[in-house]
Chain A
């Protein structure tokens, strides 16, 4: 595992899933206040380029660590657990059933043009995301079971994609 150059090290944070968001944000602002291109507007072209690279890196690290899903995926990657591995494609049937129900509900909302059912769906989604977060904290921080964590992450990605579809339906209804 690359201890030196990982996103946690950049912000001087411990490598783990549980995170103090305020501490992350503070560290991010502190790093950006050192490296942001605005600090180098009159510097040499070399310094400008280095500043852009570092600020780019700080943004990437912050966006990855801020999102619990991306953070979990990143931790799996850091510990050598491959998210893309095909052996992990199987998902629990109960999970898949629920996904199908949700998609049907979304279809109905889309065709009815009403946004109220979307609210209920969103609430269910939020509850599930909280559940994922608790599970992953267990799997990553307590059990260090990265294979199990990869499966949770993949399910969460599924749910996350669905959240984006809800947004698209919201937008369609409003227009």
Chain B
């Protein structure tokens, strides 16, 4: 069978072409995009040469949206419409946001979901993040000269399911094909590990603008295995700014501040903090709206003092992660420092003291995550070289459980389980004739539901009416390679499968996302229908490519009849793919996908047998 000529939009039709894929670090303070060119990972700067894009979005008059430096320049003048550090609000409700009184925004509580009032109407954090991602996507496509096949987007390892889902939704809204959500410390470990050919146990201490992660990894030849992870998804450099801000207000005995003054002083606080990383003291001068002036000097000692308990707050998760991994500090070979906030000397000292070794600071803490993500994206897009045959095994950061009687949590998947993972648990009805059951999915380590994070509420309907305790409801949790959870439930005794409806506690429903997509395209030149057709065509091409490749390698696994059938399905899809009837393409894709089901399982089986062959049994003691 001849190899298909596949053409990606905007790309040549060479059979072994390089597919354009990027890694995106969607940070609290700064975001950046990177790619692998000629085997070298590199950051893609904007037209002005900036590697970092400030994660700031301004909804300006006349429907204009400014992202990055343009928004940063006016943040103090227009604080309510200029959103900074939006990552802190991802997957969160209004009640969850710390220091909400110190932010200048007008929040809307949209049924648990947080929105920010702007000139352009109420905006969810997902929409704001999508603006940042759109900008990075445009930046990447401009410098790579083509459309992206996909992106790896990084998230803090300690992000819960709602925060991960929100990030994926934002990428979708920005028109990105998400190849994988990758944990930030893991991305850093890939970049560091491959660059230094590191082997052994490594810790990655990642203190960003708004989040803190600690991951313990075992690096062996070709394998990056996360053993344990921990952190605090609401602790970062921003909190150090807050401490300095509060110190300024207290020292200067300031009255309640306007939104403009608040933003101005937060900027001054950040500048002072950054200055102190290489100087003994920092001057803070500001003129407020009331013409009041602030003139203070912050010494390194004072800063160390007011920030000490924040530093300590990062050390407890480090100890916990080590204990979860079953390791002592002496077994850790190196500590990799990631995130701009690790430039603070007191952080480096505290981490050095805890591990009894100088942390590794020889990589750019702002860029290493994006570079690692780019390396992963390159491999996932299919640009892998023979010498890049490495494997990544990550874990889920928080336990996943279900609400049981009395508001208690029963854990179904424990934290630090290697993903993907699935676990099933059986429940029963407690009333005679009960036909429905409420299922409450929670995430966290505590025993009470009220102390954990509510992820979703499900209702299982259509349970056959039986005596109390007779029905058998099997609830299965599956966490995929992105760390995202899906839950299914069915009644096993009678074999009745019942449908479930999902109500995400903090996320957007699929319908909401679709509506947002439609809204964003009604103003753009591209027609929504055309876009949907294009997506189907790309899907179809991908399926054709995957199937023909699979047949080339393993067609001997199939009976003659099945082979003929598959070839017919391939021909049928190819016949309609270039047409413009979406329904025909969709039907042909579904037919072929269904036809390859057993083939995929057979191939997987052969792959495993092949991998294990040659391993002798006498190796076993």
Interface residues of A (CB under 8 A from B): 10-14, 18-20, 22-23, 26-27, 29-38, 41-47, 50-52, 54-56, 59-60, 62-63, 167, 170-171, 174-175
Main secondary structure of the interface of A (DSSP, over half): helix
Instruction: State the CA gap A79–B465 with chains docked (Å).
Output: 36
Q: Which of B382, B420, B603 has the largest count of A CB atoms less than 10 A from its CB?
A: B420
Among the listed B481, B615, B621, which residue makes an inter-chain contact with A27, where contact means beta carbons less than 8 Å apart? B615
A41 in contact with B420 (CB, 8 Å): no
Among the listed A20, A44, A175, which residue makes an inter-chain contact with B621, where contact means beta carbons less than 8 Å apart? A20
Residues of B within 8 A of A10 (CB): 608
| B517 is an interface residue with CB less than 8 A from chain A | no
A36-B604 contact given A42-B380, A44-B593, A56-B420, CB 8 Å threshold = no
B481 in contact with A38 (CB, 8 Å): yes
| B252 is an interface residue with CB less than 8 A from chain A | no
B620 in contact with A20 (CB, 8 Å): yes
B612 in contact with A27 (CB, 8 Å): yes
Instruction: State the CA gap A37–B419 with chains docked (Å).
Output: 10
A32-B391 contact given A20-B621, A41-B179, A55-B420, CB 8 Å threshold = yes
Nearest CB in chain A to that of B324: its residue: A167
**13 extra interface residue pairs, beta carbon distance < 8 Å, beyond A33-B611, A36-B392, A44-B543:** A18-B621, A22-B619, A29-B391, A30-B615, A33-B391, A36-B391, A38-B380, A41-B381, A47-B550, A50-B597, A52-B481, A174-B319, A174-B320
* Total chain B interface residues with beta-carbon distance under 8 A: 53
A42-B604 contact given A37-B480, A47-B596, CB 8 Å threshold = no
Q: What is the CB-to-nearest-CB distance from A124 to chain B, in angstroms, rounded to a whole number?
A: 17
B617 in contact with A14 (CB, 8 Å): yes
Q: What is the CB-to-nearest-CB distance from A56 to chain B, in angstroms, rounded to a whole number?
A: 5
Instruction: State the CA gap A116–B568 with chains docked (Å).
Output: 72
Query: B14-50 toward A: CB 8 Å interface, digit per residue (1/0)?
Result: 0000000000000000000000000000000000000
Nearest CB in chain B to that of A14: its residue: B620
A12 in contact with B546 (CB, 8 Å): no
Nearest CB in chain A to that of B614: its residue: A30
Q: What is the CB-to-nearest-CB distance from A58 to chain B, in angstroms, rounded to a whole number?
A: 8
A41 in contact with B620 (CB, 8 Å): no
A59-B419 contact given A23-B619, A35-B604, CB 8 Å threshold = yes
A34 in contact with B597 (CB, 8 Å): no
B620 in contact with A23 (CB, 8 Å): yes
A34-B604 contact given A23-B619, A45-B593, CB 8 Å threshold = yes
A38 in contact with B379 (CB, 8 Å): yes
